[in-house]
């Protein structure tokens, strides 16, 4: 599972992804895996996070598939709304796992500066994966994100926030969603050729 000509860019959410988080395992197992590092994981500022994502994409001319989790997904949507065409064209697709609803009433105050959540269609193929019991985003809200962003969506049962706390250390079954996204990207490329 992986493509040598693609850079897999991991975009963690609030508080980062620890060593036992599936994003860290994926970064270490996918060829050309890289991670967006944020200066402040605990008190995120939207503009800083967007700038770090832009810098990570621009750091290498290799085509990118973004693999984001939680607040990282919202960061990707904000970045896509304002990024220059030259950087947007470098992104082949995005796997957006458990996108955090920063507009929900119970949202942590530290994350509220990421609201409002962009509603523009993402200019690259995307796949949302969410759960029917995630405290950070309801299934109907994840479906709304998918409609707004033009993403395919998979809602899995009982997976929580799809993180270490919900038992997703390696999350091998997540590779099926990445494979599905990559297949869609390849089919879109063939249609354009």
Tens digit of pLDDT for each residue in 75-120? 999 999 999 999 999 999 999 999 999 999 999 999 999 999 999 9
Residue 109, C-beta contacts closer than 8 angstroms, at least 6 positions apart: none
Is 2 part of any domain?
Answer: no
Quote the CA–CA distance of 76 and 54 in Å, as a whole number: 9
Is 175 part of any domain?
Answer: yes
What SS3 class is residue 75? helix
> Residue 136 is part of which domain span?
7-192
Number of domains in the chain: 1
Is 28 part of any domain?
Answer: yes
Q: Which run of H or E residues covers position 148?
A: helix 139-149
Tens digit of pLDDT for each residue in 18-54? 888 999 999 999 999 999 999 999 999 999 999 999 9
CATH number at residue 178: 3.40.50.1820
What's the pTM value of the predicted model, to 2 decimals? 0.95
Tens digit of pLDDT for each residue in 129-172? 999 999 999 999 999 999 999 999 999 999 989 987 877 778 88
């Amino acid at each position: 599972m992986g493509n040598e000509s693609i850079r897999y860019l991991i975009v963690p959410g609030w508080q980062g992804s620890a060593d036992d988080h599936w994003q860290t395992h994926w970064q270490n197992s996918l060829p050309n895996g890289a991670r967006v590092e944020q200066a402040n994981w605990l008190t995120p500022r939207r503009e800083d996070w967007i700038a770090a994502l832009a810098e990570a994409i621009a750091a290498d001319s290799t085509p990118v598939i973004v693999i984001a989790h939680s607040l990282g997904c919202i960061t990707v949507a904000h970045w896509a709304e304002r990024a220059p065409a030259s950087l947007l064209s470098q992104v082949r697709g995005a796997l957006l796992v458990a996108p955090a609803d920063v507009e929900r009433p119970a949202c942590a105050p530290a994350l509220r500066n990421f609201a409002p959540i962009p509603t523009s269609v993402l200019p690259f193929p995307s796949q949302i994966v969410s759960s029917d019991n995630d405290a950070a985003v309801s299934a109907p809200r994840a479906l709304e994100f998918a409609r707004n962003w033009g993403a395919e969506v998979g809602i899995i049962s009982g997976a929580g926030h799809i993180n270490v706390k919900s038992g997703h250390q390696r999350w091998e079954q997540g590779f099926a969603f990445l494979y599905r996204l990559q297949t869609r990207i390849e089919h879109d490329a063939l249609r354009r050729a």
